[in-house]
């Protein structure tokens, strides 16, 4: 039976559907924009379980925010999951899951991250830039991804992990940390963008600047005839 996959990601230049059904080959199910600007693809699937993701601009993968099921894997990644029964119907999970983002801070020292206001400007001499996210009311399992763009919107790095409430931690805030190495990687200076996605859905973006270190030297020469 033919099944439709649809993804709303207007800023992407290309999107491919990758999964167990095409051996995770980005060249098999290249998606096209529909009349509303959403990416779509149709795939012939037999009854069974299929893990999948969307491959963005040939650079990084994100989950399907419209997926009804997600499954974590051993490497810390979470995948979207579709299950088709013998009648060709998609298994639907009626359990409603949620999570609330309460705090977001950008900082350059992990051991002294402030409670609220973070930084918008960093120096290239900074060792790292940390992104702290704090969540509450987390039910179920969710993927959280941070995508970093260098100046001129050049993709730099993506990191993803999954978040859930461990037993005994109900009601407590849960923190996630993402970071980029500044000094070690000698990354470019200028205006950067950080985008946050939950279960493949865009949440927000932030802008910050990494400034170069400038040196000023003056020499005074005294010349006598």
pLDDT confidence of residue 112: 85
CA angle 55, 183, 205 (to 5 degrees): 40
Q: In the CATH scheme, what is the homologous superfamily, with its name and number, of domain 98-211?
A: Macroglobulin (MG2) domain (2.60.40.1930)
pLDDT digits (tens, 9 = 90+) for 138-147: 998 899 999 9
CATH of domain 2-84: 2.60.40.10
pLDDT digits (tens, 9 = 90+) for 90-137: 998 888 888 999 999 999 988 888 887 789 999 999 999 999 999 999
pLDDT confidence of residue 207: 97
Query: Is the model's pLDDT at 225 over the cut of 60?
Result: no
pLDDT confidence of residue 215: 52
pLDDT confidence of residue 93: 84
Query: Is the model's pLDDT at 76 over the cut of 80?
Result: no
Start-end of CATH 2.60.40.1930 domains in the chain: 98-211
Which whole number is the average pLDDT over 176-195?
A: 94
d(CA 10, CA 12): 6
Higher pLDDT, 216 or 82: 82
Query: Is the model's pLDDT at 220 over the cut of 50?
Result: no
Start-end of CATH 2.60.40.10 domains in the chain: 2-84
Quick one: which of 203, 204, 205 has its CA closest to 194? 205
Which positions ≥6 away from 19 have C-beta within 8 Å?
A: 50, 51, 52, 53
Cα atoms found within 13 Å of the Cα of residue 82, Cβ hemisphere only: 24
């Amino acid at each position: 039976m033919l099944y439709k996959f649809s993804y709303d990601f207007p800023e992407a230049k290309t999107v491919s559907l990758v999964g167990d059904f095409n051996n995770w080959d980005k060249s098999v199910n290249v998606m096209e924009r529909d009349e509303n600007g959403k990416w779509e693809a149709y795939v012939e699937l037999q009854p069974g379980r299929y893990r999948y993701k969307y491959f963005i601009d040939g650079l990084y993968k994100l989950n399907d925010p419209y997926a009804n099921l997600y499954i974590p894997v051993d490497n810390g990644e979470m995948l979207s999951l579709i299950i088709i029964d013998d009648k060709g119907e998609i298994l639907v999970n009626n359990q409603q899951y949620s999570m609330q983002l309460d705090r977001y801070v950008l900082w350059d020292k992990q051991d002294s991250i402030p409670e609220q206001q973070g930084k918008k400007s960093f120096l290239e001499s900074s060792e790292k830039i940390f992104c702290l996210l704090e969540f509450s009311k987390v039910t179920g399992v969710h993927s959280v991804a941070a995508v970093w763009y260098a100046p001129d919107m050049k993709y730099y790095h993506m990191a993803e992990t999954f978040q859930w409430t461990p037993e005994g931690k109900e009601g407590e805030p849960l923190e996630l940390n993402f970071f980029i190495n500044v000094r070690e990687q000698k990354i470019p200076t200028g205006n950067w963008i950080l985008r946050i996605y939950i279960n493949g859905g865009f949440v927000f973006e932030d802008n910050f600047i990494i400034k170069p270190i400038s040196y000023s030297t003056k020499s005074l020469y005294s010349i006598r005839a």
